[in-house]
Amino acid sequence: MTEAQTSGVPVPAELLRVLVPPVWRSLPWRALTTAGGLGLLLAGSTRLPDHAPDAGLGLLVVRLTALTGALGLAFLLDDPARNTTATTPVGRARRTVLRLALAAPLPALWWAAALLLTPAPTRPAPGPATLEAAGMACASLALATIAVRFTRTAAVGRSAAIWLGSAAAVAVLVPDRWGLLGTSQGPYGAATQVRWAVVLGATVALSALWTPEPLRGPWRHRSGRRRPSGRLRTGGFPSGRA
């Protein structure tokens, strides 16, 4: 037997074996399947007309499909047992990474199916479209991560979805010269892709920064100041002594 086994500390394989079933059961399957199904129906609607829609309409439908999937991912960090598992030896970062690892293949397959459902004459270039979809998905996860970090709410998906929808509404109002909705055929197509790459990198960085629990030891107040070390403010003796 290894030293880890004899000491009672689970090795990584055993830890994964213990964690995977409850984490898998706690995934928000209802929100994910609802958003995924609506997205696929939206992408498949481009095959209903007798003639394939033009590329402009296809880009709009693909963007709305990506937004629908991102709204579903806003619920990915919802965990009813969040406040009861906060003190377990497995930190929030490991639990979140495991949750993402279990769920990540499903959105990837879903996005591939959504692109294939779009007729070839209507389908936008897969590379730029996938970059935009990844940016929306990571923005959704970043908003959920911020809500988890700075609140004690177990279900943060609704607020994250509202913020994402609000951001999408604002993006529609921004001109293509500075916004995120330029087309590849337009004069600002390359700049639009650069902005999406910035969104993707920034949201991934923010998620990585705010996923771990804040460093707060028993010697610190919530404000970050040090507590008195057992001495009265008016004297130099520990409390309880003369």
Least confident residue range of 35-39, 46-50, 104-108: 46-50
Residue 239 has pLDDT above 80, yes or no: no
What pLDDT is attached to residue 16? 72
**Strand positions, DSSP E, the chain:** none
Task: Find the range with the poorest average confidence among 41-55, 72-86, 128-142, 214-228.
Answer: 214-228
Given a contact cutoff of 8 angstroms between Cβ atoms, the answer to whether 66 and 128 are in contact is: no
Q: Where are the alpha helices (DSSP H) in 118-156?
A: 126-150
More confident residue, 80 or 179: 179
For residue 220, the cross-strand partners are 226
pLDDT in tens, 125-174: 999 999 999 999 999 999 999 999 988 888 899 999 999 999 999 999 99
Rounded Cα gap, residues 180 and 201, in angstroms: 15
Q: What is the pLDDT of residue 22?
A: 84
Band (81; pLDDT cuts 50, 70, 90):
low
Q: Which residue has the higher pLDDT, 181 or 3?
A: 181
Question: Tens of pLDDT along 170-229?
Answer: 999 999 999 999 998 889 999 999 999 999 999 999 999 998 876 554 333 344 444 444
Question: Which residues, other chains included, contact 10 with Cβ-Cβ below 8 Å and sequence gap of 6+?
Answer: 4, 18
Query: In the predicted model, what is the mean pLDDT of residues 70-84?
Result: 84
Output the pLDDT for position 233.
Answer: 44
pLDDT value for 85? 53
Cβ neighbors of 67 (< 8 A, separation 6 or more) are 136, 164, 168
In whole numbers, what is the pLDDT of the chain averaged over residues? 83
